[in-house]
Amino acid sequence: MNLLPSPERARPTAILLAVIALSIAYFVGVHWWFTDPHLAIAEEMRELREQEVDYRRKSAARQDIEKSLAAVRSSEATSAAFLPEADFDAAAAGLAQRVDQVVSEFARSAQTCQVLGKTPMRGTEEEPFERVVLTVRLRCSFEELAPIVHKLESGQPMLFVDETQIARWAGYRDPQTGKALSTLDVRFNVYGYLRNRAAATDSGQRRT
């Protein structure tokens, strides 16, 4: 039995075998030892370029964040919204003086509106800035109370009034005329914030 191709098919068969041989030689001698490592290097370079782009993007974002933080810190340093004092004790004393000034400004007389007590205390909640709280007790009429609270909350430094309790002061009479007066017993907290950022401190209280 003749296994050799006929003369008519000998040339195409030889060409096919040559192509197969060249393909095998390429994959064995070229692709595995030359092309494949170069493809791996190209993939690594692509990943490195992507990492570089990502790093540059994050670096630019970090610079923007740092600029924003610097602007915030600069605003904090110059803002009139904070209490001007540097520490809690000085700020509490300044806040008490502020309350006395405002009450004196709107009281018709010392008999009709006066401060009965002021108790400073630290804020108990975790906040970015330290809160200085003054618990105030007043005896005054509603006509005097409204502008007092408004003046405290609308001025500088920025102050807040909350936890307001109002009760009628029964039986109070004008010491000069003996006339019964419509007087209120008012308790509220007024507070502001120190410019310095809050530190972890135990809440305390003292009376002035």
pLDDT tens sequence across 134-173: 999 998 888 889 999 999 998 888 899 999 998 887 656 6
- Distance, in Å, from the CA atom of 33 to the CA atom of 18, rounded to the nearest integer, reads 21
Q: Does 124 lie in the same domain as 67?
A: no
Q: Does 136 lie in the same domain as 104?
A: yes
- Distance, in Å, from the CA atom of 71 to the CA atom of 64, rounded to the nearest integer, reads 11
Identify the burial level of 71 via C-beta atoms within 10 angstroms of its C-beta, where 0-12 means exposed, 13-18 middle and 19 or more buried: exposed
CATH number at residue 152: 3.30.70.60
Q: Quote the pLDDT of residue 199.
A: 54
DSSP string over 3-46:
-SPPHHHHHHHHHHHHHHHHHHHIIIIIIIIIIHHHHHHHHHHH
pTM value is 0.56
Q: Does 182 lie in the same domain as 95?
A: yes
Between 207 and 20, residue with greater pLDDT: 20
Q: Does 192 lie in the same domain as 92?
A: yes
Lowest mean pLDDT among 3-17, 52-66, 122-136: 3-17
Question: With bands split at pLDDT 50, 70 and 90, how would you rate the model's confidence at 119?
Answer: very high
Identify the burial level of 100 via C-beta atoms within 10 angstroms of its C-beta, where 0-12 means exposed, 13-18 middle and 19 or more buried: middle
Q: Quote the pLDDT of residue 46.
A: 76
Predicted confidence (pLDDT) per residue in 41-85, tens digit: 667 777 777 877 777 777 777 776 766 666 656 555 556 788 888
Lookup: tokens for 123? 């804020």
Mean pLDDT, residues 177-189 taken together:
79
Lookup: tokens for 100? 């006395």
pLDDT at 101 over 70: yes
Q: Does 105 lie in the same domain as 177?
A: yes
Residue 102 lies in a domain: yes
Residue 48 lies in a domain: yes
User: Could you tell me where the beta strands, DSSP code E, fall in 34-150?
Assistant: 114-122, 129-140
Q: Does 12 lie in the same domain as 101?
A: no
Task: Give the Å distances, CA to CA, from 78 to 24, 75, 117, 156, 191.
Answer: 78, 5, 32, 13, 20
Residue 207 lies in a domain: no
Residue 208 lies in a domain: no
Q: Specify the number of domains making up the chain.
A: 2
Q: Quote the pLDDT of residue 93.
A: 94
Lookup: tokens for 140? 């005054």
Q: What is the domain extent for residue 149?
A: 88-197
Mean pLDDT, residues 15-31 taken together:
61
- Distance, in Å, from the CA atom of 203 to the CA atom of 130, rounded to the nearest integer, reads 11
Which amino acid, 135?
Answer: T
Lookup: tokens for 131? 């809160």
pLDDT at 193 over 80: yes
Residue 202 lies in a domain: no
% of the chain residues with pLDDT over 70: 61
Q: Quote the pLDDT of residue 13.
A: 63
Q: Does 114 lie in the same domain as 168?
A: yes
Q: Does 193 lie in the same domain as 102?
A: yes
Which residue among 20, 55, 78 closes a domain? Answer: 78
Q: Does 55 lie in the same domain as 26?
A: yes
* Mean per-residue pLDDT over the chain, rounded: 75
Q: Does 31 lie in the same domain as 119?
A: no
Q: Does 193 lie in the same domain as 92?
A: yes
Which residue among 78, 100, 132 closes a domain? Answer: 78
Q: Does 106 lie in the same domain as 182?
A: yes
% of the chain residues with pLDDT over 90: 25
Q: Quote the pLDDT of residue 206.
A: 43
Which residue among 19, 50, 78 closes a domain? Answer: 78
Lookup: tokens for 203? 């809440």
